[in-house]
Amino acid sequence: MGMLHSLTLTELRNLNRDALLRTMVLLPWLLAPLMAWVIPLFAHALADRIDLRPYYGMLTSFFSLLLMPQLLGYVIGFMLLDERDDGTLTVLQVTPLSLERYLLYKLSLPFVVSIGAAYVFVAVVGLIDPPYGPLLPIALLAALEAPLFALMLASLAGNKVQGLAVMKGLGFFGLAAIAAYFTPMPWQWFWAISPTYWPVRAFWAALAGEAWIPYVVGGLAVHLLYLWAMWRRFRVILSR
């Protein structure tokens, strides 16, 4: 427990020193209440031209399930880039705290926070009556994107400057989830290559009273495949 306490304090100090990382962590907590106020305001103003209520489920899924894991993943990814550049990860390989245990700890933090954030944001955004029963397995699936995006950023970028470019490229995955909402079946399956598709699709199915479990099971397989590939790439990079 003492080691975990020390690691957590170190992580918080590193986070506090970087304005960009602090902003990423705080942004979802600021956006959620803002959306709870802005979206109904727009819906009322545009009521004569367009009914926004059918899109509440899509908007809720984006802010509640996807935003927090992705941003926390980027934060951890940038931290890993720093630690790789300064040699911290290399040193860990010859200490009692193994690299695997350290990475497991580091990647588990955003995973756990993302699960809780899903429940908080669904309630705070307040646009729909959420399916609380299916929400836990769906939130667990969505939370896997936090370690996934962290490993993607850390394994695809050579430094923090490249990391900003990689982060912009990874924005495709967030857009894919939104694009899927407007894509009819069977063409919607094209977006299944994106891990972000699966948790939001399961959420939409649960809202509609449809079978959501197949999307969770399929999404778990897709996420584990991506995680395995990114983990292997990251280990290869560290071994160079």
- What is the Cα–Cα distance from 228 to 167, expressed in whole angstroms? 20
* Core vs surface per residue 5-40: b (16+ CB within 10 A) or e: eeeeeebeeebeeeeebeebbeebeebbeebbeebe
Determine if the pTM surpasses 0.85: yes
What is the rounded (10 degree) CA torsion for 135, 139, 142, 147? -170
Cα separations in angstroms, 160 against 62, 79, 93, 123, 238: 26, 9, 22, 35, 16
Encode 70-111 in three state secondary structure: HHHHHHHHHHHHHHHHCCHHHHHCCCCCCHHHHHHHHHHHHH
pLDDT number for residue 123: 87
- For the chain, residues with pLDDT lower than 50 are 1
Residue 8: per-residue pLDDT: 60
- Please, what's the largest Cα pairwise distance for the chain? 66
Give helix 2-17 / helix 99-125 axis angle, nearest 10°: 60
What are φ and ψ of residue 148, in 5° steps?
-65, -50
pLDDT of 51? 82
Cβ-Cβ contacts under 8 Å for 215 (sequence gap 6 or more)? 198, 199, 201, 202, 205
- Identify whether the C-beta of residue 110 lies closer than 8 Å to the C-beta of residue 73: yes
